[in-house]
Structure 1
Amino acid sequence: MIFTSIEIARSPEEVKKIFFNFPAYPTWHTSFLHGITPLSKDPNPLDAGSQVHCHIEGVPEFDASIVENSARKFVWKGPPVMGVAGLHTFEFQPSEKTNGGTTFVQKEEFEGVLSFLLQEWLLGKSLFKGYNNFNADLKKKVESL
């Protein structure tokens, strides 16, 4: 598993507003997570069961199935790539450290024959770095408003 978190001095609702504005990502985050595009034309394209197209640095582009989109979590499951599938979770938790703030968590749980290689200290190093860079850019953007 890869696990990252960051404290953001804004409410979970404010963080989610920026996070879910996928088309604006290039204005505040220019590396690693290059795009998330809902594939459904439904009025609620991010409901569980819908799909998103993901463009992540160093990984072949893929379509992921949304598993959960709740007040505190956004979770997708990617397809197997080279025998490994990932369950990617973003959490927007009220902070216990920052009054009125958010603990933003980004983590990925891997399954498959080679999943043990994707630990943050092995082949998962670049993912760990990318998640932390995204988290820092999100914090900077949200706190600048």
Structure 2
Amino acid sequence: MNSYRLHTEIEIAATPEHVWSILTDFPFYPEWNPFIVSINGDIKHGAKLQVRIQPNGGRAMTFRPRLVVVQPGKELRWLGQFLFRNLFDGEHRFAIEPIADGRVRFTQSEHFSGLLLPLFQKSLAQNTKTGFEAMNRAIKARAET
């Protein structure tokens, strides 16, 4: 089966708890997040979210992934599927890792797979990766002010 990974990271001068509080404060996403413009849903394992993304140069899209990992201060991960499993799946991961006193590495990555992946791979490599990087810079700016 086709598979593709995106990986971005940024260092942030903040505690893991502070970065987590921004990452999981979904109602404030429209104020600061240029890529994921809204998320609705409960932050608990197994919960369904409603996520709206606006890739730079791409079309806005809403999807409904299920949370598969919720580790406060460490990791938030969801799995989204288009129509049904193995057609076009994306497992999105946010990780917060302490690297020094008062600093963290914030990683945003996604593993894509499925039969339709070849149709979307160019857009993922350009627009989606650019969106991840823009969000990383925005969460850094918010956490450090």
Give the TM-score category using the shorter length: 0.7 to 0.9
Gaps of 5+ in 1: 39-44
Unmatched tracts of structure 2, length 5 or more:
none
Residue 47 (structure 1) aligns with: 44
2: CA distance between counterparts of 1:5 and 1:110? 18
* TM-score of the superposed pair, with normalisation by structure 1: 0.84
CA drift of 1:115 comes to 2.5
Alignment equivalent of 1:74, drawn from 61, 76, 81 = 76
The answer to whether structure 1 residue 88 and structure 2 residue 116 are counterparts is no
Query: How big is the shift at 1:123?
Result: 2.2
Q: Which runs of 4+ in 1 moved over 6 A?
A: none
CA offset digits 1:104-140 (Å, max 9, x no partner): 0000001102335655xx3211000000000000000
The one-letter amino acid of 1:115's match is L
For 2:83 and 2:71, how far apart are their aligned partners in 1?
Answer: 27
1:34 counterpart = 2:31:
no
Q: Distance in 2 between matches of 1:100 and 1:81?
A: 42
3-state SS of paired residue (1:10): coil
Counterpart amino acid of residue 115 in structure 2: V
- Give the CA RMSD over aligned residues: 1.8
- Whether contact under 8 Å (2:24, 2:43) holds in the other structure is no
Moved more, 98-107 or 132-141: 98-107
Q: Deviations over 1:13-32 (max 9, x none)?
A: 11011111111122222x22
Q: CA deviation at 1:59?
A: 4.7
Question: How far apart, CA to CA, are the structure 2 residues paired with 1:59 and 1:15?
Answer: 25
Count residues with an aligned counterpart. Answer: 133
In 2, Cα distance between the equivalents of 1:22 and 1:92? 17
Letter in 2 for 1:62: F
